[in-house]
Amino acid sequence: MARIFLVEDDPQVGELVKRFLEKEGLLVVWARTGREALKQAWEGTKPDLVVLDRGLPDMEGLEVLRSLRDLDPLLPVLLTGRAEEDSRVEGLLEGADDYLGKPFSLKELLARIKALLRRGGKEGRRYFGPLELDLEARKAYLDGQPLKLSATEANLLFVLAQTPGRVYTREELLARVWGPEFEGSERVVDAYIRLLRKKLKDDPQAPRFIETVVGMGYRFLGE
């Protein structure tokens, strides 16, 4: 169940939104002031999305937004407030993921929330069968278990998985993962692919993830 952190000082709006979202199966934590919001954001369980009112009694909403961003640069934030275009642009420039002008319909709010949650899921994490890649944290999980990857192994995996289906030559992988200054042999790529396959429990004869393309290089198998 997605956790929504609602920051709204208007008791009527807050009550209405909270009840509606809960009826739609979302978990809602409601903070009524900027200070309360920041306190809860630091202490509570991490939310999946924040619905943040710009006009708060004690703090400017954008200030709360900036603090939330410091806490987690990827947390999806839907800013609500005055409907004027300037307000929207300003909010987006400050790092909100979306802006909803007031008054809004509850259905519109729900649609925006769902879109952001989908986007967050899609951009932040990618799933390839039993393999899950957390693109921001640069972590990989196989069957839900975190993989212990060295920095080089992780870089190699994330470069390959960035564009599934695309063939990368050893030369390209050397340049991308080891850097253009690296002067070692291209065989180092093969060695690291072997290490990676072992950790991914990937059989080169029947690969699930990394395929050898004879005479060319390697390719990550697509979704």
- Decide the pairing of beta strands 139-142 and 131-134: antiparallel
**Per CB under 5 A, which of residues 155..194 are in contact with Ca ion?**
none
The pattern of x and - marking residues 55 through 94 that bind Ca ion according to CB under 5 A reads: x---------------------------------------
CA distance 132 to 98: 26
CB of 117 to Ca ion, least distance (A): 23
Q: Which is nearer to Ca ion, 55 or 121 (CB)?
A: 55
Neighbour tally for 25: CB within 10 Å:
8
Out of 53, 97, 98, 132, the residue judged to bind Ca ion by CB under 5 A: 53
The answer to whether residue 52 forms part of the interface with Ca ion (CB under 5 A) is no
CB of 50 to Ca ion, least distance (A): 15
**Per CB under 5 A, which of residues 9..28 are in contact with Ca ion?**
9
CB of 26 to Ca ion, least distance (A): 21
Q: What is the identity of the amino acid at 152?
A: T
Which parts of the chain are beta strand (E)? 3-7, 27-31, 49-53, 77-81, 98-101, 125-128, 131-134, 139-142, 145-146, 167-169, 210-213, 217-220
What tokens were used for 146? 């975190």
Task: State the residues that interact with Ca ion by CB under 5 A.
Answer: 9, 53, 55
